[in-house]
Structure 1
Amino acid sequence: MATPIVRVDVMNSSCISIAGRRIGMCELPYIIAELSANHNGRLETALRIIEEAKNAGADAIKLQTYTADTITLNSNAEEFQIRGGLWDGKTLYQLYKEAHMPWEWHKPLFEHARRIGITIFSSPFDNTAVDLLENLNAPAYKIASFEAVDLPLIKYVASTGKPMIISTGMADSEEIAEAIEAAREGGCKELAILHCVSGYPAPAEDYNLRTIPDMIARHGLVTGLSDHTLDNTTAITSVALGASIIEKHFTLDRSGGGPDDSFSLEPHELVALCRDTKTAWQALGQVDYGRKSSEQGNVKFRRSLYFVKDLKAGDVVTPGSIRSVRPGFGVAPKFMSDVIGRRLSFDVAAGSAVMWSVLSDKA
């Protein structure tokens, strides 16, 4: 039975915590650099990617934990063939054999990430991958979009008691609700979901980012974006719509030739993503009609009323004797009709501010 829709206050949606970092709409966006297959078969490359993610300001580096045998079958049958797209002509087994992260690399990668101070976790694709990651004390788990329909896997991950993030690419509203229900039934207490389009790359117009606040309102969960577009515009925009997590594929060199390189960010682009999502979040702020600190020094340049003629005490202020001009040291322009027709208590010179103290009652 699908989880019923529960509408919640968007601005008071929940928070989760991964390795001590709070994640939610009231916190800076949580940036995940997805290493995926961008190691291109070299442990040294994977280690460097972790270092560059840390240097760029990412909060976490994420791996993918599978083997070709745990994710598919070694078959040349038509349904196992990839037709079109980045991986045209390969079988699923060939692709995952090339792309997988060797399991013996996981321990040195986890150790390296912890040594340099960046959170590391992974997407497991079967129960044995979860067991491996538990032995490494992974602080959280990510369910990939293609596995969002694998409810037994979600329940097994949930049984670890660790925070879980579920990507929702290709999932309809009912399937998203089922994945959430499976996570809750399995015991997951800290759950987040990511809006995602499982195209590689995905065009920005497919993202329909207005789905994000609807997801937050429906489910009351920390919600983010798994972004497969080729630049940062979509990710930055998502922050304004409530995204608390941003996940992007990350590589050292987009022309590296690996399975995922071509739609991944390079180091300078990840730096920009970390910087610009932070700026976008800070710019959101809160509802505030008050004068801001950066405006204080410019208040004097607002308009106010000034005399444009020399006048004597007892003269009547006429429309032609005052004007609304900058700066703002005189009576506010909204009082012009109240000022016109009053007599002067003192002599005034052209170019002086209109002050209530020089005005008497109306003539």
Structure 2
Amino acid sequence: MVAELFYDASRPPLVVAELSANHNQSLDRALALVDAAADAGADAVKLQTFRPEWITLDADHSEFLIQNESSPWFGRRLFDLYAEAALPLEWHEPLFQRARERGILAFSAPFSLEAVDFLESIDCPAYKIASFECVDIPLIERAAITGKPIVVSTGMASAAEIDEAVCAVRRHQARGPVLLKCTSSYPAPVENSHLVTLEAMRRLWSVPAGLSDHSLSPAPALVATTMGARMIEKHLTLDRADGGPDAAFSLEPTEFAELTRLVREAHAAIGEVRFGGTTDAESHARKRRRSLYVSRDVRAGTPLSADNIRSVRPGHGLATRHYEEVLGRHFRRDLPKGTPLAWFDIE
């Protein structure tokens, strides 16, 4: 079931390749991104579903310009940026089909009620609510009422706003959403990740938590994995040099493949609570530990002493913790130097 991919804590984190605007208005490139995600070992690809008029107004007022000078989109009109970034609706089904052919999941982030209705018409299996839409309660409810898994990226949301989003999902789904820690800057400095928030989200809302990461470093994803992240989302591009609205903070295929490998290794390394000697490798290593050996030729009846027994490697003799216990007792039989000491050799 699709829900298990999002909610089953026994699985490694769901690694999701965000295609976003990196299609650069080419269906062939978008299909190639799905292939690249599958080749890189991703579990899923995520699309974004919108039309510019579903998000903003075609207006020239300053409020509709990006005014943050540190933004890669500084000075651009919102409508123009979204028109460039929008994935044509007619491309969705071919991309979903390509993902199915490659054995990975495809789902999408709707940015409006119209987008949810469209995605329902093509049986989208799960929904992601983007961080900027985390406060859009009608949108969240429209997605949640479908009964499909809901992922909510928290971004700039306060605890109260996150609570509203979680409650909106739980009005229709008892399990609630998967919450993603997200730093809404592009690219995001790793020191702004604040990944201890993952545990706080799990504790406060009793839901799975994960990471939507806009950095170019693997570190946040690996740390999040060791903290029990249920999902890791990263942007994927074929080549940052090709440009595009999201290229600057996207991973190239070889980088994404390495990230996927490291995430899976990090999850495998978590394991379970065990103390030494429980693995096959350690059981062999035990034979190289110190133990008690006869250190010179001895005759039956000779007392055991520091002159004729020693703690040395390998570990085939009595454990060294018995050293004081056996001193002064007598050898039961003649033994040559190098014999591993055993209880039946001692009177």
TM range (shorter): over 0.9
Residues 314-361 of structure 1, C-alpha deviations (whole Å, 9 max, x = no match): 22222233221110011101111112121222222222222222212x
Q: Distance in 1 between matches of 2:62 and 2:258?
A: 42
Q: Is the counterpart of residue 350 in structure 1 residue 334 in structure 2?
A: no
Q: Distance in 2 between matches of 1:291 and 1:183?
A: 43
State whether residues 223 and 245 of structure 1, in contact with CA within 8 Å, keep that contact through their aligned partners in structure 2. Answer: yes
Specify the SS of the correspondent of 2:240.
coil
Q: Which amino acid aligns with 1:205?
A: E
Specify the SS of the correspondent of 1:37.
coil
Q: Which amino acid aligns with 1:240?
A: T
State whether residues 162 and 188 of structure 1, in contact with CA within 8 Å, keep that contact through their aligned partners in structure 2. Answer: no
Measured after TM superposition, the shift of residue 76 of structure 1 is 2.6
Measured after TM superposition, the shift of residue 269 of structure 1 is 1.8
What does residue 321 of structure 1 align with? 308
Measured after TM superposition, the shift of residue 251 of structure 1 is 0.8
Say how many residue pairs are matched: 344
> Structure 1: which 5+ residue stretches go unaligned?
1-16
Q: Distance in 2 between matches of 1:108 and 1:352?
A: 73
Residues 288-318 of structure 1, C-alpha deviations (whole Å, 9 max, x = no match): 2351122222221111011222222222222
> Structure 2: which 5+ residue stretches go unaligned?
none
Q: Distance in 1 between matches of 2:164 and 2:52?
A: 27
Residues 231-280 of structure 1, C-alpha deviations (whole Å, 9 max, x = no match): 22211221110101111101111221111111111111222222222222
Q: Is the counterpart of residue 60 in structure 1 residue 44 in structure 2?
A: yes
Measured after TM superposition, the shift of residue 35 of structure 1 is 0.2
State whether residues 33 and 247 of structure 1, in contact with CA within 8 Å, keep that contact through their aligned partners in structure 2. Answer: yes
**Structure with more relative contact order (C-alpha pairs < 8 Å, separation 6 or more):** 1
Specify the SS of the correspondent of 1:155.
helix
Q: Is the counterpart of residue 45 in structure 1 residue 29 in structure 2?
A: yes
What does residue 156 of structure 2 align with? 170
What does residue 134 of structure 2 align with? 148
Q: Which amino acid aligns with 1:31?
A: V
Q: Is the counterpart of residue 268 in structure 1 residue 244 in structure 2?
A: no
State whether residues 6 and 178 of structure 2, in contact with CA within 8 Å, keep that contact through their aligned partners in structure 1. Answer: no
Q: Which amino acid aligns with 1:164?
A: I
State whether residues 154 and 182 of structure 1, in contact with CA within 8 Å, keep that contact through their aligned partners in structure 2. Answer: yes
Q: Distance in 2 between matches of 1:22 and 1:142?
A: 11
TM superposition score normalised by structure 2? 0.94
Q: Which moves more between the two structures, 337-346 or 136-145? A: 337-346
Measured after TM superposition, the shift of residue 104 of structure 1 is 2.4
Q: Is the counterpart of residue 76 in structure 1 residue 60 in structure 2?
A: yes
What does residue 312 of structure 1 align with? 299
Q: Distance in 2 between matches of 1:20 and 1:287?
A: 24
Match of 1:204 among 174, 185, 190: 190
Q: Which moves more between the two structures, 26-35 or 186-195? A: 186-195
Q: Which amino acid aligns with 1:154?
A: I
What does residue 14 of structure 1 align with? none
Q: Which amino acid aligns with 1:316?
A: P
State whether residues 300 and 332 of structure 2, in contact with CA within 8 Å, keep that contact through their aligned partners in structure 1. Answer: yes
Q: Distance in 2 between matches of 1:78 and 1:359?
A: 93
Residues 169-224 of structure 1, C-alpha deviations (whole Å, 9 max, x = no match): 11121111110001112447562111111111111111121221221122221221
What does residue 7 of structure 1 align with? none
Percent of paired sites with the same residue? 45
Residues 33-54 of structure 1, C-alpha deviations (whole Å, 9 max, x = no match): 1000000111110011011111
Matches within 5 A, 1:290-309: 291-309=278-296
Q: Which amino acid aligns with 1:48?
A: A
Measured after TM superposition, the shift of residue 129 of structure 1 is 0.6
Q: Which amino acid aligns with 2:287?
A: K
Q: Which moves more between the two structures, 347-356 or 168-177? A: 347-356
Matches within 5 A, 1:111-190: 111-187=97-173, 189=175
Q: Distance in 2 between matches of 1:257 and 1:192?
A: 31
State whether residues 161 and 188 of structure 1, in contact with CA within 8 Å, keep that contact through their aligned partners in structure 2. Answer: no
TM superposition score normalised by structure 1? 0.90
Measured after TM superposition, the shift of residue 164 of structure 1 is 0.7
Q: Which amino acid aligns with 1:145?
A: S
